[in-house]
Chain A
Amino acid sequence: MGIRGFFSRLKQGLARTRSVFTGIAQLFGLRGRVDQAFLDTLERQLYLADVGADATQEIVESVRRAFLDKEITGDVESFVKAKLRDLLTGPSPGLNFQPSGPTVVMVAGVNGSGKTTSIAKLAKMCQDQGKKVLVAACDTFRAAAVEQLTIWCQRLGCDIVKSQQGSDPASVAHDACEKAKARGYDVVIVDTAGRLHTQTHLMRELEKIRRVLSKQIEGAPHETLLVIDATTGQNAIQQAELFSKSVQCTGIILTKLDGTAKGGAIFAIKRRLNLPVKFVGVGEQIDDLEPFDPETYVAALFETA
């Protein structure tokens, strides 16, 4: 699947609607000079993709400098694409698996961003790579969160460590680590309750879960993935900033890219925090998770419907 799957899915998304980025494609189809009107259109398209003021202005400015008053040709297209690509990361290396002992992946994010669903998808992805996966149901807060994860695990034939609603999430994390070590699991994926990054007491709770993990297993969590909903606007930057500060995120899962939103805030997040997107969510089904590939992302952005 990989790149092709992601590419075709994104293209499907684009085909279903007139994406904002088709506008850029049309832009490139224009004949004439790179003038203010061209730059204005470029700016508009970037804003509409949630790229945000700073990154947008940077891109538009560099296009202006390089191409103002020049004939619009294929060069502008590749220049803009390259520029956007540069602002992102290299291709995602996927999860950083430990050579020995369980690899612990902690997943965090604001409410409803898609953590639990992404965990199910990640578990499947690991299983497909022959790993023995254990999931820790540390969202003990939201109604039926544990049940939701349990259902996913049943479907996957994946083991789960859980406790009842309202119990201490850190102790669930603790139990999961014990079990993983005792039974030789390769991967432990830790689900956590959704929380807004501004809720300091809940952020502290998250830090506590992280501490428990690192005490139980050397170097854990080896990955801390922040789940960001692609429909989120500039607030995504705050989320990335505060979650990173609290639990040192190693990457992002950008979900709901199967809609019309593009999650353009990842440009600013990369720029400010050097936090890369590792996976993208492109649907509600178990296979709808892809490794992030900036090349494909940017290319798909410019695909015409």
Chain B
Amino acid sequence: MFEGIQRSLGEALKKLRGRGRITEANIRESMREVRKALLEADVNFNVVNDFIQRVTEKSVGQEVLRSLDPSEQIVNIVYQELIALMGPVDHRIPLAKDRPTVIMLCGLQGSGKTTTAGKLALMLRQQGRKPLLVAADLQRPAAIDQLKILGEQIHVPVYSEYPSDPVTVCRNGVAHAKKMLLDTVILDTAGRLHIDDALIDELRRIDKQVRPDSVFFVCDAMTGQDAVNSAKAFNEALDLNGVILTKLDGDARGGAALSIKEVTKVPIKFIGVGEKLEALEPFHPERMAQRIIGQGDLMGLIEKVAQVQQQISEEELRAQQEKLKKGLITLDDFRKQFEQIKKLGMKDLIQRLPGMDKMLPENEDPESALRRIQGMIDSMTKEERQNPDIIDLSRRRRIAAGSGVQPHEVKQFLAQFDQVRTLMKQMASMSLWQRLKMMTGLGQAGAFLPGSPILQKNKIGTGHRKSAKERAEERKKKKKKKR
């Protein structure tokens, strides 16, 4: 059911492909699909409608960037708008200097308050603070025990009294922190419904008497349309400073994040991604937008668009295009192209293009093959790079030694470069996207990956499509290894 927005958007945007300009008619059509997809992601109905209207207004009449097609551009607008809705985020927790800082957690039953209290305590302790956990849930059986056990696990003291009442516990807890020279107090309150006036009033009384520096609303990421109702009510009663979204380690699309932020304007600060107390992370609107949109090809596309926009200056492209047209491409230019492809992530690129994943060698990744070629070019003199024809056997040996390859690989590469030069001439008139596609296509012919086993081996698909996050992590790891 939830191939979700990724598929729906993909379907919708296919309709836009090949059209040069974003018009009212064609965007309306796609936005119907986007709307349904957002609803399936549990974004609140009213929020969805506002969102659709805003994105439509923003998109209509927009000129399509040269290197993109309208669909790519609309995905990007949808994405940017999602981020704008959920951001910006300040992950800092304001700390008082002259007295203990008080943080109060509140929310519905079972949303994850007690666990999150433990997580925050651990995080603060690791930041050098001296936290105190206060067990102010006197309602749920064994709630105090639960907090005590968590406190023990992370070596953070827990203040409790029983029988008592929650307001008193909180007040005494803060006093206890002062006495014990603890600098951060975290109040774990009982779960309650937002329509339970008596219990909401109890929170108000704690608020009044203890004056917490921050009040965080703890919300289950799997929450549906009702998220805005509860968040709104808690915010009206308590003036929330932040939201912590829990249980994001599952497959909930987390539309609640968008809804709550839009309706209350209270920022989401942290997310819970597991039951363990280490599983608390700062909230990143970009990642959440990715999640709501879906993690497959579309997200990749968005990354590409952003990178294209940022990293490839129009001038550079234009200059290159001129050169290409005249067939004046040199190894220097060639290497520049490499840089661009590397920025885009060769592996990603190949995976994204139809049929290309077959080319991925099982052991060596295209990026390292790319690096080898780059090494060869880097070992050439300026003169050689301008005029490869002068490269004879002794030069080949020198280049090979300099870049750690065999001399015949240099020769092979130079021969293929010659072919590339011809092909590039043809590519001059294509869009960047098409060009990249074509260039990776060349890889298949061996131009990019001389001497690599890439051509002989067919990769057997693992059936696992890596998420954007996984890919990013992999890239990071690779970078580290290189250093």
Contacts and interface: CB of A to CB of B under 8 A. Distances in A.
Interface in A137-155: 141-145, 147-148, 150-152
Nearest to B190: A284
Contacts of B193: 256, 258-260
Interface string B128-167: 0000000000011111011011100100000000000000
B439 to A, nearest CB: 38
A47 B40 CA distance: 10
Given A143-B150, A234-B224, A258-B193, A196 B249 contact: yes
Contacts of B230: 231, 259-260
Contacts of A199: 249-250
Nearest to A197: B250
B229 interface: yes
A215 interface: no
B226 A260 contact: yes
B229 A260 contact: yes
B110 interface: yes
Interface string A23-61: 000000000000000000000100111101110000000
B251 A233 contact: no
Interface residues of A, number: 52
A72 to B, nearest CB: 22
B450 interface: no
A8 interface: no
B171 to A, nearest CB: 24
B141 A148 contact: yes
A238 interface: yes
A48 B139 contact: no
A232 B275 contact: no
A145 B227 CA distance: 26
B247 A111 contact: yes
A13 interface: yes
A50 B150 CA distance: 34
Given A233-B256, A235-B42, A110 B222 contact: yes
Interface in A1-28: 13, 16-17, 20
Contacts of A141: 275
Contacts of A111: 110, 112, 247, 275
Given A142-B275, A234-B224, A260-B226, A151 B142 contact: yes
Given A111-B110, A258-B193, A260-B195, A147 B220 contact: no
Interface in A250-278: 256, 258-262, 264-265, 268, 272
B6 interface: no
Interface in A111-150: 111-114, 141-145, 147-148, 150
| Shortest Cβ-Cβ A-B pairs, 8 listed | A233-B224, A112-B110, A233-B42, A144-B146, A261-B226, A196-B250, A147-B142, A151-B141
Contacts of A261: 224-226, 229
B419 interface: no
Interface centre among B149, B224, B253 (most CB of A within 10 A): B224
Given A53-B40, A229-B110, A233-B256, A48 B225 contact: yes
A237 interface: yes
- Centre residue among A17, A114, A268, A284 by max chain B CB count within 10 A: A284
A256 B109 CA distance: 9
Interface centre among B110, B148, B197 (most CB of A within 10 A): B110
Contacts of B39: 47, 52-53
Contact of B109 (A50, A53, A112, A238): A112
A197 B45 CA distance: 26
Contacts of A112: 109-112, 220, 247
A182 B194 CA distance: 46
B224 A231 contact: yes
Given A144-B145, A148-B141, A284 B109 contact: yes
Nearest to A43: B45
B195 A259 contact: yes
Contacts of A96: none
A114 B141 contact: no
B225 A49 contact: yes
Nearest to B256: A233
A238 B111 CA distance: 19
Interface string B426-466: 00000000000000000000000000000000000000000
A198 interface: yes
Max chain A C-beta neighbours (<10 A), residue from B223, B249, B275: B275
A52 B39 CA distance: 8
B420 interface: no
Interface size band for B: 35 or more
A240 B175 CA distance: 47
Contacts of A236: 222, 224
A259 B247 contact: no
A211 B225 CA distance: 37
A114 B224 contact: no
Given A142-B275, A197-B251, 16 more contacts: A49-B225, A50-B225, A53-B39, A112-B110, A112-B247, A113-B110, A143-B145, A144-B145, A196-B251, A232-B220, A235-B252, A238-B2, A256-B193, A260-B193, A260-B195, A261-B226
Interface in A61-85: none
Given A53-B40, A233-B224, A110 B250 contact: yes
Interface centre among B41, B146, B222, B275 (most CB of A within 10 A): B222
A198 B221 CA distance: 14
Nearest to B221: A235
A238 B251 contact: yes
B195 A233 contact: no
Nearest to A116: B141
B357 to A, nearest CB: 25
A111 B256 CA distance: 17
A53 B229 CA distance: 20
5 contacts: A143-B145, A148-B142, A151-B141, A198-B250, A256-B108
B425 to A, nearest CB: 50
Contact of B223 (A53, A143, A232, A264): A232
A143 B275 CA distance: 10
Interface in A154-169: 165
B149 to A, nearest CB: 4
Q: Looking at A150, A233, A262, A272, which has the most chain B CB atoms within 10 Å of its CB?
A: A233
A73 B111 CA distance: 42
